[in-house]
Amino acid sequence: MRKVFLFLIIIYLIVIYYFSSIPVPKPLRDKPDILLHFLEYGGLGTLFFFYYSDFFRKKIELPVLFFILSFTLLYAISDEFHQSFVPGRTPSVKDVIVDFVGASFFLIIFNLRTENE
């Protein structure tokens, strides 16, 4: 089962990269996308949780949580940097923060709801 979640994480990272490569249409450029960023990285955090918790079988240890959150933060930063090269997109510190909060929220909530065996 872990291999399936690892595969899904890799696919999810590719999908994030792909959608970051698409220019945003002009009518949508000024629309708030905070919820989209929160849910997008919340989904990534959820997949990492499933992978490391063996699908809710155990809590994730603090060092592993730190690794996951560090990875998602670095990926969010690299995603915003990547967007600086895409026409119609601009990097945003706010987006990085919302991405990090989304991943953190889902990871922590799932981890608190999981009981150790």
The token duo for 36 is 């989209």
pLDDT digit string, tens, across residues 72-111 = 999 999 999 999 999 888 899 999 999 999 999 999 999 9
> Using CA atoms, how far apart are residues 47 and 41, in angstroms rounded to an integer?
10
> Using CA atoms, how far apart are residues 44 and 107, in angstroms rounded to an integer?
9
Is residue 25 one of the residues assigned to a domain? Answer: no
> Using CA atoms, how far apart are residues 107 and 65, in angstroms rounded to an integer?
8
pLDDT digit string, tens, across residues 28-76 = 667 778 999 999 999 999 999 999 998 878 889 999 999 999 999 999 9
Is residue 21 one of the residues assigned to a domain? Answer: no
Is residue 68 one of the residues assigned to a domain? Answer: yes
The token duo for 86 is 């895409």
Is residue 69 one of the residues assigned to a domain? Answer: yes
Is residue 77 one of the residues assigned to a domain? Answer: yes
Is residue 58 one of the residues assigned to a domain? Answer: yes
Number of structural domains (the chain) is 1
- Kindly compute the dihedral angle of the four CA atoms of residues 78, 37, 89, 20, in this order, to the nearest 10 degrees: 60
Domain of 46 in residue numbering reads as 2-8+34-113
